[in-house]
Structure 1
Amino acid sequence: MSQVKKRTETAPEHRWKLEDIFPSQEAWDKEYQDTKELLKKAEDFQGKLSSPDAVKACFELEDKISLHTERLYVYSNMKHHEDTAEPEYQALSEKSKKLSVEAGEALSFITPEILSLSDDELNKLIQAPELAFYKLTLEEMLRQKAHVLSKAEEALLAQVGNISSAPSTIFSLINNADMKFPKVKNEDGDEVELTHGSYITFLESKNRDVRRNAFKTMYETYSKQKNTLAATLSANVTKNLFYSRARKYPSALEMSLFGDNIDKAVYTNLIDTIHEALPLLQRYMTLRKKLLKVDELHMYDLFAPLVEEFDMKITYDEAKEIVTDALKPLGQDYLEVLKGSFNNGWIDIYENEGKRSGAYSWGAYGTHPYVLLNHKDNLNSMFTLAHEMGHAMHSYLSDTNQEYRYAQYTIFLAEVASTLNEALLMDYLLKKTTNPKEKMYLLTYYADQFRTTVFRQTMFAEFEMLIHARAEAGESLTPQDFSKIYYDLNVKYHGTEMAVDKDIEMEWARIPHFYNSFYVYKYATGFSAATSFSKQILDEGQPAVDRYLGFLQSGGSDFSLNILKKAGVDMSSPEPIRQAMDVFKGLIEQMEELTGK
């Protein structure tokens, strides 16, 4: 294996150009000092936010401080990510984090002070002509007002904050630090320690005994801690109930959705529509059983490779070319920016010593976005390039079409643009390939994304809804309750073709997302919205492309559901999820055809 290069040995054309944000350390230092000075001006507005002029000047200062702080923070952290062992940028990263905290504290009076106004006074501000640009901000404050408590109550809730993070902290310590797994045999018959990281590798083994042993060992270990882990998850549910009641929400679910202004129907509609589509998932299970040539399909067979690993060697230059071709349906303007990004220092391409792992898209308003990659010459890295460029193009088009305050899109929307690019790339590759082996490899890759991102995350979302509803009805949440609810869901989703192993009833105990409640549904809605967009773009052409580009340009200038709806994807209806299921059905049909069903 070739030696990983040092940062200094990386070719300049393979590195991002962070000097587009700050040309020098002196420029960073100057902006840091200027921002420190701006922070002092914030206190001039305290106690004065009742007139339109004062509110406007205060919002302008808030935007200025936020933008400077963001630029300093993004630059210092991206420099740190180039080589995490480099002490100079570790220190700079810490310095910018402290500044972000100071900025947050300096500006923290704004929302409570405006919310202390009467509804009548607040409505006058909303209607004031000089505050027309800030109308959305003020309307959002008014919407939140019903759930903001008195000063004394808010102070009390703030003090409870440390206690409320306890369930998540305790779970994390049990799960990551205290829990030790026994050794299991790998494919070579060697005893290897089972870890969170190696578990999925064991489940992807071609050797069924290896998969079975890892699976059983994992859940037997969790089962020994079931009482503690149930108490921890139950405490997290209780915390959610406490906050939802204290803040006068009808339920914990509605409290969680309120921030994004998402109606409860979006959540329940996702679950109901996926229930309709369960026969498709079960049909895929039947196909999986046939391809694996097993008498019974077990839970530990879900990640086993269905076809021989198809080695697709794709260099970075080839990946760029293929991704560009695959995204042609998005039109010339989109492609021009995309091609420019490849040549103008947006992307940090290869691994180097000390570089942060993984991939992301990031940046600061006023400068082009940036993408960090650790490119390997394979299919996965090509999909990662398409995915991250989806985020980057979303940020670029939002930033160039929106003022700073309304440029940032929500997490609810974030995964749509990235997943759409992957969907178009997959469609392109499937249409282009003439090799049945390659086609089968791509089909299973895509079908498993539907299984894990749509079906599995929706099942998680349903589990969360059921356990919270149970607690809200005053019923118990014992380890047995959690296990029964979870096991029954697995049976319901996977159907009679699957031998649903008893051990799976403990899986709830190892899902960290359950401590970030009612979050996972966004994976399923984002994937469905992206699949719906890609289907519309491929079927309709230009009108659908125009709507989609409008979505990318909208940033956070409206509520997420409204932005999607204007672009032709109404997540409050079953339609986008049904469109995604049509695509999934097409994949299964192609797989069945290739296997000669």
Structure 2
Amino acid sequence: MSQLPKRTEVPSDHRWKLEHIVENQKAWDSEFSQVKGMLGQVTEFQGKLKDAETIARCFALEDEISLQTERLYVYANMRHHEDMAEPTYQALSDKSKKLSVQVSEALSFITPEILSLSEEQLKKLIAEPSLAKYKRTLEEMLRQKPHVLSKDEESLLAQVGNVSQAPGTIFGMMNNADMKFPKVKNEQGEEVELTHGRYIQFLENRKQEVRRDAFKAMYDTYGKWRNTLAATLNANVTKNLFYSKARHYDSALEMALFGDNIPQSVYDNLIATIHEHLPLMHRYMNLRKKLLKLDELHMYDLFTPLVDEFDMDITYEEAKKKVYESLSPLGDNYRKTLQEGFEGDWIDIYENEGKRSGAYSWGAYGTHPYVLLNHNDNLNSMFTLAHEMGHALHSYFSDENNDYREAQYTIFLAEVASTLNEALLMNNMLENSKDPKEKMYLLTYYADQFRTTVFRQTMFAEFEKIIHKKAEDGEALTPQELSSIYYDLNKQYYGDEMVVDKDIEMEWARIPHFYTSFYVYKYATGFSAATSFAKQILDEGQPAVERYLGFLKSGGSDYSINILKKAGVDMSSPEPIRQAMSVFEGLIEQMEQLTAKQ
């Protein structure tokens, strides 16, 4: 492979222009000093947040400080990501992180102080015309009030914070640093050390015995640590139970959903509706067995490509064109903004020496969003471009239509716009594909996204719900109990077409998301909501497009569930998940037809 260019060698038309956030280092230093100066003014409000006028002035100052800090932070860290080894921006990134912590500490008195007012006083403030701009902030404080404790108790809980991170930290160290896996033979018969990074490569191997050996080696290793790993996961569940009791919630699940104001029915409904559609997953497994020409389909056969690698060489220019064309259902205004992003120095395109890996969309309120890519000329990179521009345009429309406080949308909504773009791109490619091999490649690519993002994440979400409920009922979560629950779920989700190998019962032990509890369901709901939007847009046209653009413009101006509902996707009902499942069924039918012709 040819040498990666140094950052200084990257042509300017391949780079983003961060000067749109902060002009240069001198301007950054000057803004940094301004923020430091404003922090002194904050202390003047301490102990005085009792009347509308004082609170309005304090909120205005809080906004000014937060927005400037965000700009400084985003600029410094994005500069750092251009070349992680460059010491100037390493230092600037550290400086911005320290400032962020200082600002958080300086502003931390505001919420508890306002919450110490009575419910009656809070309701009066919400009705105050001079606080109209901050109505949602105050309503949210009132909603949180039953779960906020006295000053001393809050201080004590804050100190417990460091201890409560222990289960996740211990798991991370053990999983990433201490756990060593044996050597396994690759298809050439050479012994290669198994690692987390190589595991999926082994599972994608054409030879079944290579896949099987890697799978067994992986879970045998976790099996040896089953007692320690069960104790670690148990400690995390116990921590959740402690916080939910201390903060007066009925359950750990209720506490996890409360922040985004998501009713528990959304979580339960996701699991119930996926159960209803498990026969589709079983049908897909049957098709996978046929396509791989296997007598038995095992758990280690799930990642093997169903078609020989179909090489699609797509340059960045072609990717832009294809993404632009495929998003035509979203209308001219959306595509005009997309084009602005393509041409307006939003995107940092190619890999260079020291550049951060992966891809993201980021930015600060008041300037356009930015996108970091490491583009390769392949299908995956084209989908990444569509995905990240979905995030970017969601942020763009949110910022353009909302005040600073109401522009930020929640994580519950974050993956909808990005996944919708991917769905429309996929739809366009499938419609225009003439080559049966290419079509099969695209169909399996998409069907596997349903398997991994909707079915698998829902199974994880169900596992979390079961183990927390058992702990709340006073039952012990022994390694045997965890493994048995996990194994039964796999049998239920994958069905009789699948040999559910006993080793899979240890998979719970290697899922890092279980240490950020009740989070994974958002992948499944986000994907379902996006698929539902895409289906409505393609079926209905303009009325659905208007609703969807309304969703993009809503930012965080209402609770997530209400924003989606207004746009025609009611996540408290089974309908969006059923719509997503009908798309999945359509993919399976097309794959079955192509298979019949072979």
TM-score normalised over the length of structure 1: 1.00
Deviation string, structure 1 residues 389-419 (Cα, Å, up to 9, x no partner): 0000000000111111111110000000000
Question: 1-side partners of 2:42 and 2:567: how far apart?
Answer: 38
Tell me the residue number matched to 1:254.
Answer: 254
Question: 1-side partners of 2:352 and 2:284: how far apart?
Answer: 40
Tell me the residue number matched to 2:522.
Answer: 522
2:381 matches 1:381: yes
* Superposed counterparts of 1:31-430, under 5 Å: 31-430=31-430
Match of 1:28, SS? helix
Tell me the residue number matched to 1:22.
Answer: 22
Question: 2-side partners of 1:24 and 1:266: how far apart?
Answer: 46
Structure 1 residue 485: Cα displacement: 0.1
2:497 matches 1:494: no
Structure 1 residue 371: Cα displacement: 0.1
Instruction: Give the letter aligned to residue 423 of structure 1.
Output: A
Question: 2-side partners of 1:52 and 1:198: how far apart?
Answer: 59
Question: 1-side partners of 2:509 and 2:223: how far apart?
Answer: 9
Instruction: Give the letter aligned to residue 180 of structure 1.
Output: K
2:4 matches 1:4: yes
Instruction: Give the letter aligned to residue 559 of structure 1.
Output: Y
Match of 2:596, SS? coil
Deviation string, structure 1 residues 69-102 (Cα, Å, up to 9, x no partner): 0000000000000011100000000001011001
Question: 1-side partners of 2:155 and 2:82: how far apart?
Answer: 41
Structure 1 residue 161: Cα displacement: 1.2
Tell me the residue number matched to 1:589.
Answer: 589
Deviation string, structure 1 residues 361-404 (Cα, Å, up to 9, x no partner): 00011111000000000000000000000000000000111111
Question: 2-side partners of 1:154 and 1:137: how far apart?
Answer: 20
Question: 1-side partners of 2:181 and 2:33: how far apart?
Answer: 50
Instruction: Give the letter aligned to residue 488 of structure 1.
Output: D
Deviation string, structure 1 residues 230-287 (Cα, Å, up to 9, x no partner): 0000111111111101111010000000000000000000000000000000000000
Question: 2-side partners of 1:216 and 1:337: how far apart?
Answer: 50
Instruction: Give the letter aligned to residue 8 of structure 2.
Output: T
Instruction: Give the letter aligned to residue 538 of structure 1.
Output: L
Structure 1 residue 435: Cα displacement: 0.3
Structure 1 residue 152: Cα displacement: 1.6
Instruction: Give the letter aligned to residue 572 of structure 2.
Output: S
Identity in percent: 75
Instruction: Give the letter aligned to residue 241 of structure 1.
Output: L
Question: 1-side partners of 2:37 and 2:153: how far apart?
Answer: 33
Match of 1:377, SS? coil
Instruction: Give the letter aligned to residue 229 of structure 1.
Output: L
Instruction: Give the letter aligned to residue 129 of structure 1.
Output: P
Instruction: Give the letter aligned to residue 292 of structure 1.
Output: L
Question: 2-side partners of 1:329 and 1:247: how far apart?
Answer: 46
Instruction: Give the letter aligned to residue 315 of structure 2.
Output: T
* Superposed counterparts of 1:428-577, under 5 Å: 428-577=428-577
Instruction: Give the letter aligned to residue 154 of structure 2.
Output: E
Question: 2-side partners of 1:161 and 1:378: how far apart?
Answer: 44
Structure 1 residue 577: Cα displacement: 0.2
Instruction: Give the letter aligned to residue 301 of structure 1.
Output: D
Match of 2:4, SS? coil
Question: 1-side partners of 2:245 and 2:22: how far apart?
Answer: 47
Question: 1-side partners of 2:324 and 2:188: how far apart?
Answer: 41
Question: 1-side partners of 2:326 and 2:387: how far apart?
Answer: 12
Structure 1 residue 25: Cα displacement: 1.0
Question: 1-side partners of 2:132 and 2:24: how far apart?
Answer: 38
Match of 1:595, SS? helix
Structure 1 residue 124: Cα displacement: 0.7
Structure 1 residue 360: Cα displacement: 0.2
Instruction: Give the letter aligned to residue 232 of structure 1.
Output: T
Provide structure 2 residue ranges, at least 5 long, that are not aligned to the other structure. Answer: none
Structure 1 residue 153: Cα displacement: 1.4
Deviation string, structure 1 residues 110-134 (Cα, Å, up to 9, x no partner): 0000000010111111111111111
Question: 2-side partners of 1:433 and 1:75: how far apart?
Answer: 41
- Deviating beyond 3 angstroms after TM superposition, the runs of 4 or more aligned structure 1 residues are none
Instruction: Give the letter aligned to residue 294 of structure 1.
Output: L
Question: 2-side partners of 1:405 and 1:281: how far apart?
Answer: 42
Question: 1-side partners of 2:330 and 2:380: how far apart?
Answer: 22
Match of 1:192, SS? strand
Match of 2:180, SS? coil
Match of 1:596, SS? helix
Question: 1-side partners of 2:239 and 2:265: how far apart?
Answer: 23
Match of 2:184, SS? strand
Deviation string, structure 1 residues 418-455 (Cα, Å, up to 9, x no partner): 00000000000000000000000000000000000000
Deviation string, structure 1 residues 188-246 (Cα, Å, up to 9, x no partner): 22111111111111111111111000000000000000000000001111111111011
Match of 1:146, SS? helix
Instruction: Give the letter aligned to residue 152 of structure 2.
Output: A
Question: 2-side partners of 1:18 and 1:152: how far apart?
Answer: 43
Structure 1 residue 584: Cα displacement: 0.1
Instruction: Give the letter aligned to residue 466 of structure 1.
Output: I
Match of 2:147, SS? coil
Question: 2-side partners of 1:415 and 1:218: how far apart?
Answer: 31
Structure 1 residue 23: Cα displacement: 1.6
Structure 1 residue 159: Cα displacement: 1.6
Question: 2-side partners of 1:425 and 1:405: how far apart?
Answer: 32
Higher mean alpha-carbon deviation, 520-529 vs 185-194, is at 185-194
Structure 1 residue 2: Cα displacement: 1.9
Deviation string, structure 1 residues 470-490 (Cα, Å, up to 9, x no partner): 001111100000000000000
Structure 1 residue 155: Cα displacement: 1.6
Instruction: Give the letter aligned to residue 55 of structure 2.
Output: V
RMSD of the alignment, in Å? Answer: 0.6
Deviation string, structure 1 residues 17-62 (Cα, Å, up to 9, x no partner): 0111112111111111111111111101101111000010011001
Match of 1:351, SS? coil
Question: 2-side partners of 1:110 and 1:51: how far apart?
Answer: 13
Match of 1:184, SS? strand
